[in-house]
Chain A
Amino acid sequence: MTSISREWLVRKTLMVTAMVVVVGLALVVFFMVKESLPAFRKAGPANLFSATWNPREGRYGMLVFLVGTLTTTAGGLLLGTPLALSLALFLTQVAPRRSRGLFSRAVEVLAGVPSIVLGWLGFTMLVPWIRSVTGSSGSGILAASIILAVMVVPTITAISRDALEAVPSSYAQASLALGATRWQTIFRVILPAARHGILAAVILGMGRAVGETMAVAMVIGPASVFPTSLTSPTHTLTTKILMEMGESTGVQRSSLFAMGLVLLFLAMALVVLVRRVSKARRYEGWVE
């Protein structure tokens, strides 16, 4: 085989692979839209985005679940981000060089814990504990947020660690040489210089939290109503789809596809956000 034809073969193979991916994605979107069309046509957007889920009376509102997704995600990030950032700072700035590898491995292992394991721990330990402390049912947004925090910490830690490590040491040198302390250097120079990477890390963590199903399903409730407190049962988009998928037909089934479509849009919006953030001008001047 001549080199020209081999190159031709490689190029065609790669092109076909790329096409498969693009076509696959297009098919996903196509089927999601196609399957959710009946819900939009028969129930209508006003019904679909209302707060009432009662299929027997023809009510297919997903607002409760959308709010559940947004609040648990926000809760998980609120709890997880400070922890992850502290960890990343510890790993890059404080930990002795020799033990950094060890801590990094630990974070990677945490990232690899299957979500069902975390969900199980949440169900058997976290929820009963919250129940005994608060006297409520124990499951709900708080429990889900805590579990999600544990899940996003490795993601956010690993990516912000890379961002912090990518800050040129010449910045820190300049700051220290001006008489800044190590903490002043970290908070006034290193963190701000890494802020795009850290923001991207948080957005990727958000993606993980939005999509998480199993672990959340085990601690969220379930209930198809707005929660009355952080520790009363509710649902997220993913957990609702999970619960209903086996036994729904017709418009009800179609409305689950509509929820899936909303999740898909959320995920796409996050990807766009990440791209925006990581493309942000490198030399952008910043002011405290």
Chain B
Amino acid sequence: MTVAEVRARTAESRSQHEVVDTGGIGRSSSLKELEMVHNQAAVDGEAKFRLGSMSLYYGERKILEDITMDIPERKITAIIGPSGCGKSSFLRCLNRMNDLVEGCRVEGEVLLDGEDVYRRECDVTALRQKVGMVFQKPNPFPKTVYENVAFGPRILGIKERAQLDEIVESSLKKAALWEEVRDKLKEPALALSGGQQQRLCIARVLAVEPEVILLDEPCSALDPIATQRIEDLLSELREKYTIVIVTHNMQQAARISDYTAFFLIGCQGDPGRLVEFGETGTIFTAPADERTERYITGRFG
């Protein structure tokens, strides 16, 4: 599908979105939507993901409401917001890891390269290879370092030793871990330090050659030095991959991301909403919404 087609389709979905009766949402919110459209226009380059009025339900409960945003290709997009506003759930919408939650339902559009990932014939395993995920707590398998990285390629049916060796080495190099573990390939992954484990998890994702990498607070269990290394790594990976990172750490978002999305829930039990999305510089220096400003300056609630 060409870029033009993608654009056309998204434009269509957006106009649909405007027709949808948003119920109790007042004028201020449609003003905000206008601002958001403005922000989207500011995204240069192509959009990897285009979300059109996406809502997420876990059973009866609405977790996310009416999210419309573009995730630009080969950029780092940071997702910030207070706990429980649905950041992790949002991330899991993008690679359909939400399918594991009983009673999960997604409405609206989630287009990856122009194709809806929630369409009936979507191959979820292929989607997850294309959209890799790194979790909050490092979760290497209780296998050797080598077998952790080789897991994905093996799933893809690669059996030849030489080819696996090559993939393992190059993935570990891309994850800036090779020098540290080249002599420990046959040792248990769980014997590595936390930061090394997290980089191993990144290497494991890189081994299946994804196009997008989703990271859910990947540094929240790490010390500052390990965090620094992950940040450096992400900055390098930005060249080749579309990266979406959830972070609790405002400085981290400001340091490494190109774009920032701010999520918020009104009050307890309400669904999370996208308050503001735009270039990180703008969000942190001149946010359009006062709630964003209050949040990033730490004066929330």
Contact = CB atoms under 8 A, between A and B. Distances in A.
A178 B152 contact: yes
B190 interface: yes
A176 B141 contact: no
- In the complex, the 10 A-B pairs of residues with the closest C-beta atoms, listed nearest first: A285-B188, A179-B129, A285-B144, A170-B139, A177-B133, A283-B190, A179-B128, A179-B125, A178-B152, A174-B139
B117 to A, nearest CB: 13
A288 B148 CA distance: 11
Interface in B175-212: 186-191, 201, 204-205, 208
Interface of B: 95, 97, 100, 102, 125-129, 132-133, 135, 137, 139-147, 151-152, 154-156, 186-191, 201, 204-205, 208
A284 B186 CA distance: 11
Contacts of B126: 179
B201 A287 contact: no
A171 B144 CA distance: 14
Interface string A252-288: 0000000000000000000000000000001111111
Contacts of B143: 192, 285-287
A177 B144 contact: no
Contacts of A282: 142
Interface of A: 97, 168, 170-171, 173-181, 184, 188-189, 192-193, 282-288
A285 B143 CA distance: 4
Contacts, number: 89
B128 A173 contact: no
Nearest to B145: A285
13 contacts: A170-B139, A173-B97, A175-B141, A176-B128, A178-B208, A179-B129, A184-B155, A189-B141, A193-B142, A283-B190, A285-B186, A286-B144, A287-B144
Contacts of A97: 102
A126 B155 CA distance: 44
A100 to B, nearest CB: 13
A181 B127 CA distance: 12
A171 B155 contact: no
Given A170-B135, A178-B152, A288 B141 contact: no
Contact of B147 (A168, A175, A178, A286): A286
Contacts of A283: 142, 188, 190-191
Nearest to B124: A179
A97 B205 CA distance: 30
A179 B155 contact: yes
* Most chain B CB atoms below 10 A, which of A97, A180, A193, A288: A180
A288 B128 CA distance: 23
B142 A286 contact: yes
Contacts of B151: 175, 178, 180, 188
Given A184-B155, A193-B141, A178 B187 contact: no
Given A181-B125, A283-B142, A176 B147 contact: no
A163 to B, nearest CB: 13
B132 A177 contact: yes
Contacts of B140: 174
A170 B95 CA distance: 16
Nearest to A283: B190
Contacts of A174: 135, 139-141, 201, 204
Nearest to B147: A287
Nearest to A96: B102
Contacts of B186: 285
Nearest to A184: B155
Contacts of B139: 168, 170-171, 173-174
Nearest to A193: B142
A86 to B, nearest CB: 23
Nearest to B97: A177
Contact of B189 (A181, A184, A188, A285): A285
Contacts of A177: 95, 97, 128, 132-133, 135, 205
Contact of B100 (A171, A176, A189, A192): A176
Contacts of B145: 285
Contacts of A188: 151, 154-155
B147 A285 contact: yes
B132 A178 contact: yes
A180 B189 contact: no
B135 A173 contact: yes
A74 to B, nearest CB: 30
B190 A178 contact: no
A171 B132 CA distance: 15
A175 B139 CA distance: 10
A171 B125 contact: no
Contacts of B147: 285-288
Contacts of A287: 143-144, 146-147
A256 B104 CA distance: 64
Contacts of A175: 141, 151
B217 to A, nearest CB: 14
Given A184-B155, A285-B147, A288-B147, A178 B142 contact: no
B129 A178 contact: yes
A178 B135 contact: no
Given A174-B201, A188-B154, 6 more contacts: A174-B135, A174-B141, A178-B155, A179-B152, A285-B145, A285-B191
